[in-house]
Structure 1
Amino acid sequence: MTLYTILDNIDSLCFFLLGTSVLYLFVFALLSHIKRKDIYPAAGKLHRFVILYPAYKEDRVIENAISNFLEQDYPKSCYDVVVISDQMQDDTINRLKSMPVTLMEVHFQQSSKAKAMQYAIENLDKNTYDMVVIMDADNTVEPNFLHELNKAYHSGCLVIQAHRMAKNLNTDTAILDAVSEEINNSIFRKGHVRLGLSAALIGSGMAIDFQWFKKNIFKLQTAGEDKELEALLLKENIFIEYLEHVNVYDEKTQKDSTFYNQRRRWLASQLFAIKNNIGKLPGALFDGKFDYANKICQWMMLPRVLLLGFIGIISIIVLLYQWTWAIKWFILELLLVITLSLAVPDYLVNEQFKKAVWKAPKLFLLMTLNLFRLKGVNKKFIHTEHGENNK
């Protein structure tokens, strides 16, 4: 076999693998533009919710988030707000104690969101609630948030992911972080639900049937609790609904260093999810658990920033060796750009966005560096700083 033949085979294999990922993204980006017609009717019953706020060193943002949530137009007697305070300052704790919330103080040797939620469930009345809502300490919502969740739950939805969107667009990194999340919303939530597949969980702004949650929360072991929850749910064929009209406002990463650490944690949790579930792919297909099989395939794909960067680099390398091979690579790169453009909502496309796009190559380099610094990351909690100051 000649060197030319070997390189041709490698080129074809790489194109097939990356091309499959791009085609997958393109199909769901298109599907996300189908307008949803069904809406959930008014509920005949007011279900009880418990809202969990795991708060690790969140002194800067937690009070504002709690004050905002307490403005719900849902009856106060039908929901309880629980703050799990881990290593917050005494002044913050004292102010929280004056608010109508349940405050649980914990002191974990190795903190994690999963441990905070497990502690809360251990110390709550197991028969009081219908749904548990998981929030980040900086999340804010609109007054009708619980009413919308209640309608969906009353109609039979056991798991609901709300539309998490940017609270701030004050730096180039924050803009790109917001764009990235909205692309995920379009492809992995709106597009998937349009085809009858489950939406991806984000980690906050999600509501889960309380009885299921209390039985399964203690199975979580890593910092990638959202992916662990997804796997557990989809193994049981439990559908994850996405309510795109129910907004949860989330503070976006403002600094490159925070972006780097956040993505490092996400990559580690994704690799852990692949390792733990890839062997179950044949069984999921055989048992007709297509949602679960689809999720495993989804985890196996490169993040969009890496996909965009690697295809671009391969295109240039191939062009230098054999320009006829490069044509398909440049077409694939163009298709990916079109896909991402389809997935970005109009409200984010402005002059500020066009300026921020020039920072994408730097974020690609940071993501690439992350690939070599993942060892042990999924076993420890990497705190995302909220309320950070710009630099």
Structure 2
Amino acid sequence: MVEQIFNIGHNWLEKQEYIFQLVDAIIFLFFFIFVLYLFVFAFNSTRKAPYTFPKASKKYRYAILFPAYMEDEVIIDSVRSFLNQDYPRDLYEIIVISNMMSDQTNLQLQNLNVKVIKMNEQKSFKVRALREAVKYMESQSLYYDNIVILDADNVVKPDYLDKINDAFYCGCSAIQTHRIAKNRDTNTAVLDAVSEEINNSIFRKGHTRLGFSSGLSGSGMAFEYDIFKDIIQNINDIGEDKYMERRLLLQNIYIEYLENVYTFDEKVRKNKEFYNQRQRWLSTQFSNLFSGLTELPSAIFKGYWDYCDKIFQWMMPPRILLLGFITLLAVFLTIVNFTLALKWWGLLVLLGITLSIAIPDYLVDRKLKKAILCLPFLFILMFLNLFRLKGGKNKHMHTKHSNSNENSH
């Protein structure tokens, strides 16, 4: 009897051990696929560009859109920065969609020979401003070949429009420029700058090196006017860049990445701003994922692999959660079962190598080493955001911008 009880107990423990190992293997497989995906594109981001765009023999006409909600502090400098373009001034028009900004700011903009579209919405979303711009251009019978979208804090170099024009002349229809941090004045801003460049390496540069479309970033984007006008009409209030990606890729329109055309962008400085910004991003990512899954079978049937790749991207957890969970699982299994932990430590090393490849050398400095200490806290904030997804995509969260004298590049 005792022996039977012992055998039953022994078999039960073996069964529990088997289930534990099976669950561990399944979870590891998912994490391994995600990390391997990141590694492949990060590794290919180191490859030299297979082509360059020759100088265009034709100059197109552009509308430069600056949606600006309560951005009195930065919009004037951003517009002045753009007015330094080498491009012929009569071939581009700057249009500021001014919402809740002072009459003084609007007058200053008009004195700079800028068109100002006034809005007065307490809760204004970027996509509403863009739709208002299209409505204005259509009502005024203004003709443009292409559209450039910038945030109110963005500044650019004098050759910005010239290089974009070269790409359009060579047949591009949708373009993402290289967004780069213009400030690294807090630990959060440093990590946000690093995150942006990792995105550039993996989801833009690495993707285009392998023939896939670049991801969009929300600003520093350029489109053929007719394509932009058609897409912007049906976008939800939040997450316009992700929706635009979906519509472009479903039409099999390739998104080019111009890695040598810089859009300097202000990074969030405070943990609270990071927390709210990432909540909005996560919410829109999962919203677009669930909406996009319905069109996945059709995309597979048509061979639209860019679209399939995008849906897979949106299935992946953010990198900071990936890094945090793999670390926690590796530590936990080291205590429980060291043999099972070895593969997790190996995966953590692979993820570390991937991120090292994706981070440009200029960002690896004393500031980054100091900022890394904040990663555990930011991991907690991102983890908490997983419980705040509902309604996040419809919340109005304005990130306040300010002028910064620091330029990181």
Q: Aligned partner of 1:58: which letter?
A: E
- Distance in 2 (alpha carbons) for counterparts of 1:229 and 1:313: 36
- Distance in 2 (alpha carbons) for counterparts of 1:365 and 1:56: 30
Match of 2:61 among 48, 53, 72: 48
- Distance in 1 (alpha carbons) for counterparts of 2:188 and 2:86: 34
The alpha carbon displacement at 1:369 in A equals: 1.1
Q: Aligned partner of 2:217: which letter?
A: I
Match of 1:30 among 21, 43, 68: 43
Q: Percent identity over the alignment?
A: 48
Q: Which moved more, 1:317-326 or 1:27-36?
A: 317-326
Unaligned segments of structure 1, at least 5 residues:
none
What aligned pairs does 1:1-391 form with structure 2 within 5 A after superposition?
A: 2-108=15-121, 110-125=123-138, 128-387=143-402
The answer to whether the 8 A contact 2:93-2:115 is kept is yes
The alpha carbon displacement at 1:5 in A equals: 1.8
The answer to whether the 8 A contact 2:243-2:288 is kept is yes
Would the alpha carbon gap of residues 388 and 77 (structure 1) be closer, same or farther in structure 2, given more than 3 Å must change? closer
The answer to whether the 8 A contact 1:84-1:104 is kept is yes
The answer to whether the 8 A contact 1:110-1:381 is kept is yes
The alpha carbon displacement at 1:89 in A equals: 2.1
The alpha carbon displacement at 1:314 in A equals: 1.1
Aligned length: 389
TM superposition score normalised by structure 2: 0.93
SS in 2 for 1:327: helix
The answer to whether the 8 A contact 2:47-2:209 is kept is yes
SS in 2 for 1:74: coil
The alpha carbon displacement at 1:218 in A equals: 0.7
SS in 2 for 1:124: helix
The alpha carbon displacement at 1:127 in A equals: 5.9
SS in 2 for 1:246: strand
SS in 1 for 2:86: coil
The answer to whether the 8 A contact 1:51-1:135 is kept is yes
The answer to whether the 8 A contact 1:222-1:380 is kept is no
Q: Aligned partner of 2:66: which letter?
A: Y
Q: Aligned partner of 1:346: which letter?
A: D
Q: Aligned partner of 1:81: which letter?
A: I
Over the aligned positions, Cα root-mean-square deviation in angstroms equals 1.3
The answer to whether the 8 A contact 1:145-1:246 is kept is yes
The alpha carbon displacement at 1:109 in A equals: 5.3
The alpha carbon displacement at 1:380 in A equals: 2.5
- Distance in 1 (alpha carbons) for counterparts of 2:316 and 2:103: 44
SS in 2 for 1:123: helix
- Distance in 2 (alpha carbons) for counterparts of 1:118 and 1:277: 22
- Distance in 1 (alpha carbons) for counterparts of 2:320 and 2:403: 24
The answer to whether the 8 A contact 1:277-1:296 is kept is yes
Could you report, residue by residue, the CA deviation over 1:105-133 in whole angstroms, capped at 9, with x for unpaired residues? 01235310000000100110466111110
The alpha carbon displacement at 1:59 in A equals: 1.1
The alpha carbon displacement at 1:355 in A equals: 1.1
Q: Aligned partner of 2:109: which letter?
A: L
The answer to whether the 8 A contact 2:78-2:152 is kept is yes
- Distance in 1 (alpha carbons) for counterparts of 2:399 and 2:164: 27
Could you report, residue by residue, the CA deviation over 1:237-261 in whole angstroms, capped at 9, with x for unpaired residues? 0000000000010011111111111
The alpha carbon displacement at 1:71 in A equals: 0.8
The alpha carbon displacement at 1:372 in A equals: 1.0
- Distance in 1 (alpha carbons) for counterparts of 2:243 and 2:237: 8
Q: Aligned partner of 2:234: which letter?
A: K
SS in 2 for 1:72: coil
- Distance in 2 (alpha carbons) for counterparts of 1:201 and 1:263: 16
Could you report, residue by residue, the CA deviation over 1:200-258 in whole angstroms, capped at 9, with x for unpaired residues? 00000010110111111111013100000000000000000000000010011111111
Unaligned segments of structure 2, at least 5 residues:
1-11, 405-409
SS in 2 for 1:369: helix
SS in 1 for 2:94: strand
Q: Which moved more, 1:368-377 or 1:332-341?
A: 368-377
Q: Aligned partner of 1:337: which letter?
A: G
Tell me the equivalent position of 2:407: none
